[in-house]
Amino acid sequence: MKASKTTILTGIKPTGHPHVGNYAGMIKPALQLIEGNKGGRNHLFIANYHALNTMDRASELRQYTYEIAACFLALGLDLETTSFYRQSDVPEIFELTAVLASVTPKGLMNRAHAYKAKVEENLSKSNADRDDGVNMGLYTYPILMAADILLFDADVVPVGKDQVQHVEFARDIAGYFNRKFDTQFFKQPAHRVQADLEALPGVDGRKMSKSYGNTIPLFGDMSTARKLIKRIVTDSKPPAEPKDASSLSLYQIYRALADEDEAEDLKRRFEAGGLGYGEAKTILADKFEVLFEKPAKRYKDYLSDKGELERIMVTASRRARGQARCKIEAMRTLIGA
């Protein structure tokens, strides 16, 4: 009997320059899962149509898309073992979205976290309509995400905590379709959360986010990265005083970059006392440089030739497009289209 092969699928929205929070929360876990899925199928996509809900400048969306592609390539993504594509390069995703919309109850979309949060925000204001600022892209976001997942028969979808509901919705929508057409055509995927790497703090202690201006870019100048690391907010405890490592932004960022033994060693040093914040920041900066100095050069090389990068992306998308066409043709037969 042949061992079953696992299909892993994950995506990232191109809404900003790659930073340490992106690396910890999605990029590193995705690369590790792909590396560990020997013999399985791996799909990694750039969700540029999902990004349209918040992006309104074509030049920025295009640039950020290139940056995400260059980021993964610079960090060693193996295109031989991974189907790597832009969402927009696989139009079958959008055909499937239309079909899934026909089986999805409106009530399911009403329960989506992002939509409910926007409605609650509106209701807290006087004279505001409950759906102010809600476009259909936001409202139907879970259906498009379900299409992303179900089209490629994903078994496992690594996500952040805030995305778990979308995978659960994909399971629900697969069930609606399968029951309507009396079939097992779509798999029901499972989610996987990297809980320890959620909500990485930025240099000011708040969640690392471009909107707060507190990020540490992955591929900037190394001297600039060191300066940003030196700015990480700490308390006034002297070096000799023991510290609760898990409560420190400095330690949380280091743990996201270091291996398990390195992180445990720094934790012991903090908790034993005798480790000052200045020395710890130097340790973090050194680790950052070891990890990203060489990839930063490759990253800049990819971005310096957009034509070649575009060629790589188009070529890489062909594998996904071929698989998607087969699935859609089978679906059309099933539904009578």
Residue ranges of domains in the chain: 7-198+306-335, 219-300
* % of the chain at pLDDT higher than 70: 97
Superfamily of domain 7-198+306-335: HUPs (3.40.50.620)
Please check whether residue 236 is in contact with residue 48, taking contact to mean a CB–CB distance below 8 angstroms. Answer: no
Is the fold of 7-198+306-335 the same as that of 219-300?
Answer: no
Using alpha carbons, select from 240, 291, 293 the residue that is nearest to residue 27: 291
pLDDT tens profile 231-276:
999 999 999 999 999 999 999 999 999 999 999 999 999 999 999 9
What are the E-state strand segments in the chain?
A: 7-12, 41-46, 82-86, 156-159, 190-193
| Comparison of pLDDT for 25 and 92, the residue scoring more | 92
Least confident of 3-17, 196-210, 267-281: 196-210
Cα–Cα distance list, 255 to 34, 193, 198, 201, 283 (Å)? 21, 17, 12, 12, 12
CATH C-level class of 219-300: mainly alpha
Least confident of 109-123, 186-200, 313-327: 186-200
* pTM (two decimals): 0.90
Query: Which whole number is the average pLDDT over 92-112?
Result: 97
Query: Which whole number is the average pLDDT over 170-192?
Result: 96
214 CB-near residues (< 8 Å, 6+ apart): 202, 203, 204, 206, 208
Query: Which whole number is the average pLDDT over 51-64?
Result: 93
